[in-house]
Amino acid sequence: MDLWYISFVAALLGLAVGSFFNVLIYRVPRNMPISWPPSHCTQCGKSIRPRHNIPLLGWLLLRGKCANCQEKISIQYPLVELLCGVLGAASVWWVYGVYGSMPWYHLVAVFWLVLTIVPIATVDFKHQLIPDTTSLGGIAIGLILAFFNPQTTFLSSFLGAIIAGGSLFIFAQIMGRILGKAAMGFGDVKLLAALGAFMGWSHALAALVCASIVALLVILPWRFFKPSEEESFAFGPFIALMGPIFYLYGHQIMDFYWNYLQMP
């Protein structure tokens, strides 16, 4: 199929997924069910009509205000939807640029890994919480895709999730005992397990190492300029960011690393 057509379809799917992610971003930190009640105004509680619930267009039709109480609707909603639409189309071009073709299982994997960065970063940075839909959902999608990807097997995907997540869990327990407090949230463990399901344990753990390096490069200057800040720093977005990178370039990164070690 034509690359532009697939990109357009991916953009539409991205808009729809972005609308769902808005639900996660609002409801997960508040411990609200994702599926109930239906979409409604957070001010007056009035259900949103189907035509006003169309991703991006609904906000434009309403001119950013509730049809019932006329309260302003946060600009976050259309921005998240637009961002996910753009990332959906970009994921198609990214896969095509790496593989020179568009195997559907790679498209689905990269589409999911790229788009889930949005809710993970939004929720984790603010609430130190990773939605289970993105982590446990990622494990399920990774295991399912393993049935169709000729380069992997269900067993390797399953072991990837267990070993990657289990390794981080053990490390977190050890560091917790040393520090006398929780060193890492269980959401990070589930998120790394999801990466293991997509790309195997070795690439998932390598992604964890790179995520740790990038996080340190961000956290250390932050602590330097704001030494009085004692709140936890979200690590999940850094893991999520490395997900699509290591899914697409993991072999090249690992080969470069091993060749570097062998240099005299």
pLDDT-wise least confident of 12-16, 160-164, 223-227, 248-252: 223-227
Question: In the predicted model, what is the mean pLDDT of residues 10-34?
Answer: 89
Domain span including residue 50: 1-102
Residue 38 lies inside a defined structural domain of this protein: yes
- Assess if residue 210 is contained within a domain: yes
- Same domain for 10 and 49, yes or no, is yes
pLDDT digits (tens, 9 = 90+) for 23-53: 888 888 888 887 777 776 666 667 777 777 7
Which among 234, 6, 7 has a CA at the least distance from the CA of 130?
234
Give residue-wise pLDDT tens across range 162-198: 999 999 999 888 877 887 776 677 889 999 999 999 9
14 & 92 share domain: yes
Instruction: Indicate whether 154 pLDDT > 90.
Output: yes
| pLDDT the model gives residue 166 | 93
- Same domain (yes/no): 133, 97: no
Residue 178 covered by a domain: yes
**Mean of the per-residue pLDDT values of the chain:** 86
Q: Once rounded to an integer, what is the mean pLDDT over residues 66-93?
A: 87
Asked whether residue 111 is domain-assigned, the answer is no
What is the arithmetic mean of pLDDT over 137-142? 95
134 and 255 part of one domain:
yes
Considering the domain boundaries, does residue 122 fall inside one? Answer: no
Identify whether residues 165 and 35 lie together within a single domain. no
- Long-range (24+ apart) CB contacts under 8 A made by 156-163 are 156/200, 157/196, 157/197, 157/198, 157/200, 158/197, 159/196, 159/201, 160/196, 160/197, 160/198, 160/199, 160/200, 160/201, 160/204, 161/193, 161/194, 161/196, 161/197, 162/193, 162/196, 162/201, 163/196, 163/201
Same domain for 208 and 83: no
**Cα Rg, the chain, nearest whole Å:** 20
- Residue 246 sits in the same domain as residue 194: yes
Same-domain status, 148 and 98: no
> What is the average per-residue pLDDT within 92-101?
88
- Which tokens belong to 128? 């130190």
**Do residues 29 and 134 share a domain?**
no
Q: Is residue 110 part of a domain?
A: no
pLDDT of residue 206: 93
Which pLDDT value is given to residue 185? 77
Residue 45 is assigned to a structural domain of this protein: yes
Distance CA 171, CA 157 (A): 21
Q: Of 158 and 232, which is predicted with more confidence?
A: 158
Q: Are 32 and 71 within one domain?
A: yes
pLDDT band at 60 (very low <50, low <70, confident <90, very high): confident
Distance CA 206, CA 27 (A): 32
Span 202-234, pLDDT tens digits = 999 999 999 999 988 888 776 666 655 556 678
186 and 235 housed in the same domain: yes
Number of domains composing the chain: 2
| Confidence at 259, pLDDT banded by 50, 70, 90 | confident
Q: Are residues 93 and 135 in the same domain?
A: no
